[in-house]
């Protein structure tokens, strides 16, 4: 299904019944990255997933993008679907978008779950995103897919789950180069580290213990910056903990959400 939101056609899917729960995916992926978690979550929540601008089946508009723009897309999608308030969970880029929505439209957020993400990148990491943007535009996504997979999934998981690993690699390899590059530019400029104290929604921060991209130290800084935030380390997981440790993440998310469900 698609709706027009903030000047772009946004592809989305809805599953289940109950309080709304919105899921935002990482850079270079699409809503299918949440597939394995949806059945359990949809038993208790009405789960909204969507493809971010430039990704999946949503429009690839001219870049560069900004995280504020991607957050406005999410808020416009909620308005188009007449969702006044939602739990919001985002991983990696989706976690950046989640923080921005909580800052720009706090009345829409019942709770926040931030998974393997950051509140802002230092200069060296920001430069890496700009380099990836340039590579995507000049050489295409296949040049980036293998390195992305190594950061996202641990070596042992890749060895023992080759089909799942290949599905994730192919997802990145098939991403639109311009959409990916424009989103890379958004992440390079993203920084809300000094604003975390403004977030008032109940917040859960999850991070893979072996995440090389946004390691536990980064997650601890986010959790310490948001009053009352809970922090959980996902064992034996790299950057894509929702795939590598789907049961742990599902349980942690469900427990947290059921404790805050009265906020919707």
Q: Which two tokens stand for residue 34?
A: 């949440």
The pLDDT of residue 262 is above 80:
no
Please report how many Cα atoms fall inside a 13 Å half-sphere around the Cα of residue 208, on the Cβ side: 24
**175-220 pLDDT, tens digit each:** 999 999 999 999 999 999 999 999 999 999 999 999 999 999 999 9
**124-156 pLDDT, tens digit each:** 999 999 999 999 999 999 989 999 999 999 999
- Domain covering 2-121+191-263 in this structure, CATH number: 3.40.50.1820
Q: What is the DSSP letter of 52?
A: -
Q: What is the structure's pLDDT at 263?
A: 52
Closest CA to 192 of 75, 77, 106: 106
> What does 194-263 look like in DSSP terms, one character per residue?
GGGGG--S-EEEEEETT-SSS-HHHHHHHHHHSTT-EEEEETT--S-HHHHTHHHHHHHHHHHHHHHGGG
Task: Give the position of tokens 């921060």.
Answer: 205
Q: How far is Cα 177 from Cα 28, in angstroms, rounded to an integer?
A: 9
Q: What is the structure's pLDDT at 81?
A: 98
Going from N- to C-terminal start, the domains of the chain cover: 2-121+191-263
User: CB–CB of 28/148 below 8 Å?
Assistant: yes
pTM for the full predicted model: 0.97
């Amino acid at each position: 299904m698609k709706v027009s939101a903030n000047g772009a056609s946004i592809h989305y899917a809805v599953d289940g019944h109950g309080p709304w729960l919105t899921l935002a995916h990482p850079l270079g992926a699409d809503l299918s990255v949440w597939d394995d978690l949806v059945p359990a979550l949809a038993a208790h929540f009405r789960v909204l997933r969507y493809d971010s601008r430039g990704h999946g089946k949503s429009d690839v508009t001219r870049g560069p993008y900004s995280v504020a723009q991607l957050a406005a897309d999410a808020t416009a999608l909620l308005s188009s679907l007449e969702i006044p308030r939602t739990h919001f969970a985002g991983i990696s880029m989706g976690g950046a978008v989640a923080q921005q929505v909580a800052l720009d439209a706090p009345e829409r957020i019942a709770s926040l779950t931030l998974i393997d993400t950051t509140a802002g990148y230092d200069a060296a990491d920001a430069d890496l995103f700009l380099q990836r943007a340039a590579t995507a535009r000049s050489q295409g996504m296949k040049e980036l897919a293998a390195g992305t997979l190594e950061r996202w999934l641990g070596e042992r998981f890749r060895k023992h789950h080759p089909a799942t690993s290949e599905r994730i690699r192919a997802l990145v390899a098939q991403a639109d180069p311009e959409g990916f590059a424009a989103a890379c530019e958004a992440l390079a400029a993203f920084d809300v580290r000094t604003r975390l104290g403004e977030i008032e929604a109940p917040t859960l921060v999850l991070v893979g213990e072996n995440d090389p991209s946004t390691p536990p130290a980064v997650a601890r800084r986010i959790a310490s910056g948001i009053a009352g935030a809970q922090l959980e380390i996902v064992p034996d997981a790299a950057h894509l903990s929702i795939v590598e440790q789907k049961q742990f993440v599902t349980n942690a998310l469900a427990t947290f959400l059921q404790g805050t469900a009265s906020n919707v």
